[in-house]
Amino acid sequence: MRNLVIVLLVISSLIFLISLFSYFSFVSDVKRITYPAFVVLSENVNGFDLNGTALTFGSIVLSGSSRRQVLVRNPYPYSVIVTGEVFGDIGKLFLEIPITVVSAFNESSIPLAVWASPDKNLSLGNYSGTVVFTLRRV
C-alpha cells in the first residue's frame, strides 16, 4: 500500500511539473522590441523625419497630431498577440496602441498616433521616450 502511495505521488508530481512547464512556455513573451520615440511640439510645423530605427513623429503644433505605422512580421508557426507600452514623457502625447493579433507566418500594420491635446497644458519642446512591443503566443 505504501509503495502505491509513493508511485501515485511521483506520477502526480510529474504531471504537475509538465503542466507548469507547458503553461509558462505558452504564456511567456516570445519577443520584445524597443524603439526610441520622438516628437517636437512647436509653434511651426517643420516637417517630419523618416527613420527605420526610431519612431519619429516630427514636429506638431498644439492640438496637432502625427501618425505612423509599424509593420509587425510573425515568423513563428503560431499566432502571436502584439501589445505596446509607451515610456517617457512622450506618453503624454500618445494615443492608445491597439492590441493586434498576427497569424502564423503573416504580417500586420499597427497604427500609432500622437496628439497634442490643448487640455493637457503641454509646453513647447521635445518629447521623447520608448515604445516597447511585446509578442506573446495566443
| pLDDT tens-digit series, residues 95-107 | 999 999 999 999 9
Nearest alpha carbon to residue 109 among 84, 78, 136: 84
What local confidence, expressed as pLDDT, does residue 7 receive? 83
Hey, where are the domains in the chain? Answer: 30-137
For the chain, give the number of residues: 138
pLDDT at 73 over 90: yes
Q: Which residue has the cell 516628437?
A: 39
Strands (E), the chain: 29-41, 55-60, 65-73, 80-88, 100-102, 107-115, 125-137
- Whether the CB-CB separation of 132 and 34 falls below 8 Å is answered with yes
What local confidence, expressed as pLDDT, does residue 23 receive? 67
Using one digit for the tens of pLDDT, what is the confidence trace for 11-61?
888 888 887 776 666 556 688 999 999 999 988 776 656 666 788 888 899
- Give the pLDDT band (50/70/90) at residue 5: confident
Using one digit for the tens of pLDDT, what is the confidence trace for 77-100?
999 999 999 999 999 999 999 999
- Does the model's pTM come out above 0.85? no
Helices (H), the chain: 2-27
- State how far the Cα of 20 lies from the Cα of 26, in Å rounded to an integer: 10
- State how far the Cα of 117 lies from the Cα of 122, in Å rounded to an integer: 8
- State how far the Cα of 135 lies from the Cα of 26, in Å rounded to an integer: 11
CATH topology assigned to domain 30-137: Immunoglobulin-like (2.60.40)
- State how far the Cα of 87 lies from the Cα of 92, in Å rounded to an integer: 10
